[in-house]
Amino acid sequence: MTSKNKNWKEIAPAGVCSKSSKSFLTGDWKTYTPIRDVKKCVRCLTCVIFCPDGAINWVPDKKDIEFDMSYCKGCGICANECPTKAITMKLE
Amino acid sequence: MMKNLKQKMVALAGDQAVAFAAKQSDVDVVAAYPITPQTIIVEQFSEYVANGEVETEFICTESEHSAMAASIAASATGARAFTASASAGLALMHEMLFVASGCRVPVVMAIANRALSAPLNIHGDHSDSMAQRDSGWIQMYAENSQEAYDSIIQAFKIAENSNVLLPVMVGLDGFTLSHTLENVETFSDETVKEYVGIRKIANVLTHEGKLAPFRLDPKNPMTMGPIALQNYYFEFKRQQEEAMSNALMVIQNVNKEYGEISGRKYGNGLIDEYYLKDAEIAVICIGSTAGTMKTIVDQLRNEGIKAGLLRIRTFRPFPSEDIRTALSNVKAIAVMDKSMSFGGNGGPTFHEIRNALYDSNPRPFIVNYIYGLGGRDTSPTQLRTIYSDLQQILTKQTIDQPIKYLGLRD
Amino acid sequence: MTTQEWKFTAKEIANKPDLFLPGHRACAGCVPATVLKLVMKATRGPTIVTEATGCMEVVSSIYPYTSWATPWLHTAFETAAANASGIEAALKIMKKKGRISQEHVDVIAIAGDGGTFDIGFQALSGAVERGHDFLFLLYDNEAYMNTGIQRSSGTPHGAATTTSPAGSSVPGKLEYKKPLADIMIAHNMEYVATASPYYWRDLITKVRKGLEVEGPAFLHVFAPCPRGWRSNPAKSIEYSKLAVETCVFPIWEAVNGNYKLSSPSKLLSLAPQKKKPVSDYLKGQGRFRHMFKPENKALLDEVQNITDKRWKQLLKKCNLS
C-alpha cells in the first residue's frame, strides 16, 4: 500500500497536511442510517447543530436540510434530539 | 559582500556574549526559564527588554518544557525564537526537542553545559547536551566566549537556511566560559542585524493546494504537527536526516562568509585542526578544553614531538568525513569525553570517532579519556599525560587500557 | 448568561462555513467533535488554534488529512497553553515590527481533561498568570479516552475506567472531580465559564465572550464520550443536558470572579423541584452501572450528596442562597 503514497522527497516537510479531511469519507462506518420524514420536519436545524460529523447541512437555496451520507457515521444523535421525531434510524 | 567590518572589543562573560549576540540578531521571541549556569543569559536579556534596547517579546515561562513549547509555537508563527538552558532544564525539554526538530522550526538555543543530577551538581560537563545528541538538533560547541558570540549569530543563519530548517543548540562550558570574563570582539547592532537579516520563510504546499509561507497564518491555513502513522512517519524522519546532511555544507559556508566580515574562522566550521598535517599522535576534544590543549601541543612541538589536536565544533551533524581526512596520517588518537554513556563502552565522542574511523586504512589506535565530570578540574599536567600515553601506545603497538578516567581518584 | 445577549440564529450558525471539517475520524456520537464544530462557528475573525495531544487532535490531523480550515498547531500533550503563549507573543511582536498584517488574530488552545486537569495544568496556570491573550477551551470527557479510558483528575467519583475499574473491593474511582474552573477563577481571570453543548447558544456565546476578553479566558465544556462512558451514542447530547438538569455539571460564568448561573442552571435554582436526581443521569452509562447494584447503594447516595453539596456551594458563590 505504501508504494502508492508519495516518497520522502515529494512530501512537504514537518508533516504539513496536504489534504482536507473532506476527501476522507467516513460514511461507510455506519450501521444505522437516518431517515427523515419530510412532513414532520420543521427545519429547526437542531440536527444540523448537533451532528458531530458535519453530515447534515442547511441548504439556503432549497430552504431545506440535506443529509450527506458520505460523512454520516450513523450515531443517531439527530434522531434522538429531533424535537418533532422526524428522524428515525434504520438498520442498513 | 561586506568585508572585515568594524568591531569593538568588550569584556564579556560567555553568557553575556550569548545574550548580546541574541539581542543583535533581532530575535522576536525569547521564552526562557532560569537555570545555573545559563541564568546570566536570561537576566542580561531581561535588562535589554527592561531598557527598551530590543524589540522582543520575552516570555518568562513557568518551566523549560513550556519555554521550548512556546519557542516552537513562536517559530511556527513565523517569529525568530531564541532560548537558553542547561542541565536539568535541558533534560526537562527532552520531549520538546524532538518536536522542535520534527516540526522543522529554526529555534536557536544556548546551552551553558552542566552536569546532570543525581547527585545534584551545578558545574560544567557535557552530560546535558550529549544526552540530547539524537534529538534532531544541530549541535555546536564553543571554545571560548568569542566563539560563543560568533556561533549564536551564525546559528540563526544556519537554522533558517531553507535547505536546513533545523533547530540549533550552541554549547558553552558552564562556568569555564559562561561566567568568565574575556575580551570579545563585537559588531555593531546594525551590522549583525543586516548580516542575519529578517527571517526568510520558505513556501510549502498546503491542504488547500496553495503554496504559502511555512507558518501559522490565517490567510493560508496550514496544519502543523499532525499525527503521521506507519504510512508516512518514516518519510519525515528521512527528511530530517537529509536536512542534517545539508547542514554540513551550510555550516561551512556560514563559517566562511562570517570569516570574511569578522576575520575569524573556526576551522572549516565543523572541525578545528591544530598541527594535524604531520601529527603522529592526536587528541580530540570539545569545548574550552581545546584552549589548554593547544598550549600543550605547542610545548610538545617545541620538544619535537609530532602532536596535534582536533576540536569538534559541530557534533551534529557529525562531520565524519572531515575527521577521517584530518586524521588520515595520525597513528594514535585519544578521544576526550566530558560525559558518560553508562554501560556503553566509552563516552559518546569516542563512539562517534571509532565509527568514523572504522573505514580508515590503516586503522589508528583509538583510546578514550573520560574527564572533568561535575566540573572536576583537569590540570595541564594531567592533560599532557594523554600525549605520553599515546606515545607509549605507539612504542608498544598495543593498547593496555582503552578507556581511562582522567582525574578520578582510583 | 442570558439568551437576549445572543445575536445569531440557528440558521446563521448553520450558514457559517465550518472551520472544523467533516471527514474527521471521531467515533460515532462523539460530543467533543460537536463541541469543536460549534466552538469554531463562534469565532469572530482570523483564528489560530493550537491543540494538545488527545482524541480531538488525533482524529482531526491524521496525515495527510486535516480537518482544520484554520491554522493549527500541535506539539505535545501538556503544551496547549504554552503553545498559545508562543503564538500570541509572536503575533504581537511581528505586528509591531510590521511583518504581518495589523488585523487581530484570536488564539484558541484546546485540550481534553487529561491535557488540562492533569499533565497540561502547569502550562495552563503559567500562561494564565502571564496574562497572554487567548481562550483555553477544555472539552471534558472525563477520562483519558484516546489511550483507552483511564481515569484523570476530571473523572467523577465512582466512575469505572480502565485504571479505576469497579472491582469487588474498590467500586470505581474513589477520588472526586477536581474543581478546575474554580481553580482558574483563583488565578484572577477576567472570564471563566462552564458550558454544555446541549445549550449550544449558551456555549457559542461563551466562546465569543472568552475571545472578546483581552487576556486569558477559560471555558470548561462538558463533552460526553459514548465509547468511554459505555453509553448509547445517540444519547450523547442528551447526557450533556441531563448533567445540567441534575446539577452534576451546572453551567455558569464568572466575570472578574463574580459567579452567575446561566439560564438552564438558574432555572433550577428558582425551581428546585425541577432538579432531577443524579440517577437519571447516571443510569444508562456503563461506567456507573455498578453503582446500581444493591451493595453499592451507599455510593449512589454519596454521589447525590456530593452533587447537592457542590450545587449549594455554587449557589452561595452566586449569592443565591
Model confidence at A1: pLDDT above 50? no
Between residues 62 and 101 of chain C, which touch chain B (CB distance below 8 Å)? 62-66, 68-76, 78-79, 81-87, 89-94, 96-97, 99-101
What pLDDT, on the 0 to 100 scale, is given for residue A4?
A: 80
Model confidence at B21: pLDDT above 80? yes
Residues of chain C that touch chain A, judged by Cβ-Cβ distance less than 8 Å = 10-11, 13-15, 18, 20-34, 37-38, 60-67, 69, 197, 200, 226, 232-238
What pLDDT, on the 0 to 100 scale, is given for residue C2?
A: 39
For chain A, percent of residues with pLDDT exceeding 70: 97
Q: Which long-range contacts (CB under 8 A, 24 or more apart) does C1-7 make?
A: C1/C193, C1/C202, C1/C205, C1/C206, C1/C251, C1/C252, C1/C253, C1/C260, C1/C262, C1/C263, C2/C263, C3/C201, C3/C202, C3/C263, C5/C205, C6/C201, C6/C204, C6/C205
> Are C25 and C59 spatial neighbours (Cβ–Cβ below 8 Å)?
yes
Spelled out in words, what is the top-level CATH class assigned to the domain B271-406?
alpha beta
Nearest CA in chain C to B236: C63
A contact test, residue of C18, C40, C67 with most A CBs within 10 A? C67
Residues of chain B that touch chain A, judged by Cβ-Cβ distance less than 8 Å = 102-104, 165, 204-208, 214, 222-226, 228, 231-232, 234-236, 238-239, 242-243
Considering chain C, what is the average pLDDT of its residues? 96
| Residues in chain C within 8 Å Cβ distance of A12 | none
Cα B340 from Cα B154, distance rounded (Å): 29
- 3-state SS, one letter per residue, for chain B: CCCCCCCEEEEEEHHHHHHHHHHHCCCCEEEECCCCCCHHHHHHHHHHHHCCCCCCEEEECCCHHHHHHHHHHHHHCCCCEEEEECHHHHHHHHHHHHHHHHCCCCCEEEEEECCCCCCCCCCCCCHHHHCCCCCCCEEEECCCHHHHHHHHHHHHHHHHCCCCCCCEEEEEECCCCCCCEEEEEECCHHHHHHHHCCCCCCEEECCCCCEEECCCCCCCCCEECCECCCCCHHHHHHHHHHHHHHHHHHHHHHHHHHHHHHCCCCCCCCEEEECCCCCCEEEEECCCHHHHHHHHHHHHHHCCCCEEEEEECEEECCCHHHHHHHCCCCCEEEEEECCCCCCCCCCHHHHHHHHHHCCCCCCCEEEEEEECHHHCCCCHHHHHHHHHHHHHHHHHCCCCCCEEEECCCC
Q: Of how many residues is chain B composed?
A: 410
What pLDDT, on the 0 to 100 scale, is given for residue B2?
A: 65
Say whether C90 and B28 touch across the interface (CB within 8 A). yes
pLDDT digits (tens, 9 = 90+) for B98-134: 999 999 999 999 999 999 999 999 999 999 999 999 9
**CA torsion angle C2 C7 C10 C12 (round to 10):** -160
Q: Looking at the domain B8-202+230-262, which fold is it? A: Rossmann fold (3.40.50)
What pLDDT, on the 0 to 100 scale, is given for residue C53?
A: 98
Say whether C73 and B216 touch across the interface (CB within 8 A). yes
Cα B71 from Cα C90, distance rounded (Å): 9
pLDDT digits (tens, 9 = 90+) for B222-248: 999 999 999 999 999 999 999 999 999
B20's grid cell: 548580546
Q: Which residue range(s) make up the domain with C66? A: 3-317
Say whether B226 and C46 touch across the interface (CB within 8 A). no
Say whether C66 and A17 touch across the interface (CB within 8 A). yes
| Residues in chain C within 8 Å Cβ distance of A18 | 64
What pLDDT, on the 0 to 100 scale, is given for residue B312?
A: 98
Model confidence at B384: pLDDT above 70? yes
Give me the residue from C20, C69, C235 closest to A80, CB to CB: C235
Model confidence at A3: pLDDT above 70? no
Per-residue pLDDT of chain C (321 residues; tens, 9 = 90+): 333 455 678 999 999 999 999 999 999 999 999 999 999 999 999 999 999 999 999 999 999 999 999 999 999 999 999 999 999 999 999 999 999 999 999 999 999 999 999 999 999 999 999 999 999 999 999 999 999 999 999 999 999 999 999 999 999 999 999 999 999 999 999 999 999 999 999 999 999 999 999 999 999 999 999 999 999 999 999 999 999 999 999 999 999 999 999 999 999 999 999 999 999 999 999 999 999 999 999 999 999 999 999 999 999 999 998
CA of A29, closest CA in chain C: separation in Å?
A: 8
Say whether A14 and B104 touch across the interface (CB within 8 A). yes
CATH number of A33-92: 3.30.70.20
Cα B119 from Cα B132, distance rounded (Å): 20
Strand order in the sheet with B138-141: B57-60, B29-32, B81-85, B108-113, B168-173, B138-141, B314-316
Give me the residue from C86, C96, C125 closest to B73, CB to CB: C86
What pLDDT, on the 0 to 100 scale, is given for residue C8?
A: 77
What pLDDT, on the 0 to 100 scale, is given for residue B1?
A: 54
> Is C125 near chain B, with CB under 8 Å?
yes
> Is A5 near chain B, with CB under 8 Å?
yes
> Are B387 and B393 spatial neighbours (Cβ–Cβ below 8 Å)?
no
Q: What residue spans define the domains of chain B?
A: 8-202+230-262, 271-406
For chains B and C, CB pairs below 8 A equal: 165
Count of domains forming chain C:
1
How many Å from the N-terminal Cα to the C-terminal Cα in chain C? 19
pLDDT digits (tens, 9 = 90+) for C155-177: 999 999 999 999 999 999 999 99
> Are B69 and C79 spatial neighbours (Cβ–Cβ below 8 Å)?
yes
β-partners of residue C255 are C191, C258
Nearest CA in chain A to C67: A21
CA of A56, closest CA in chain C: separation in Å?
A: 9
Cα B86 from Cα B92, distance rounded (Å): 10
Nearest CA in chain C to A23: C23
Matching fold, domains B8-202+230-262 and B271-406: yes
Give me the residue from A1, A7, A20 closest to B235, CB to CB: A7
Say whether C85 and B59 touch across the interface (CB within 8 A). yes
> Is B320 near chain C, with CB under 8 Å?
no
| Residues in chain B within 8 Å Cβ distance of C93 | 28-29, 55-57, 79
C307 phi/psi in degrees, rounded to 5: -65, -45
Region B250-258: mean pLDDT is 98
Residues in contact with C99: Cβ distance below 8 Å, sequence separation at least 6, in sequence order: B78, B198
Say whether C82 and B66 touch across the interface (CB within 8 A). yes
What pLDDT, on the 0 to 100 scale, is given for residue B4?
A: 80
| Residues in chain C within 8 Å Cβ distance of A76 | 29, 232-234
Model confidence at B83: pLDDT above 80? yes
What pLDDT, on the 0 to 100 scale, is given for residue C321?
A: 80
Give chains near A: 3+ CB pairs under 8 A.
B, C
Decide: residue C165, CB within 10 A, 0-12 exposed, 13-18 middle, 19+ buried. Answer: middle
| Residues in chain C within 8 Å Cβ distance of B99 | 75-76
B328's grid cell: 588520515
C140 phi/psi in degrees, rounded to 5: -100, 100
Question: How many CA atoms, within 13 angstroms, populate the side-chain half-sphere of residue B111?
Answer: 35
Cα B191 from Cα B7, distance rounded (Å): 10
Model confidence at B3: pLDDT above 80? no
For chains A and C, CB pairs below 8 A equal: 117
Give me the residue from A5, A13, A18 closest to B207, CB to CB: A18
Residue C273 is which amino acid? Q
Q: Is C151 left (phi over 0), alpha (psi -120 to 50) or beta?
A: beta
pLDDT digits (tens, 9 = 90+) for B165-192: 999 999 999 999 999 999 999 999 999 9
What pLDDT, on the 0 to 100 scale, is given for residue B385?
A: 98
pLDDT digits (tens, 9 = 90+) for B333-354: 999 999 999 999 999 999 999 9
CATH of residue C157: 3.40.50.970
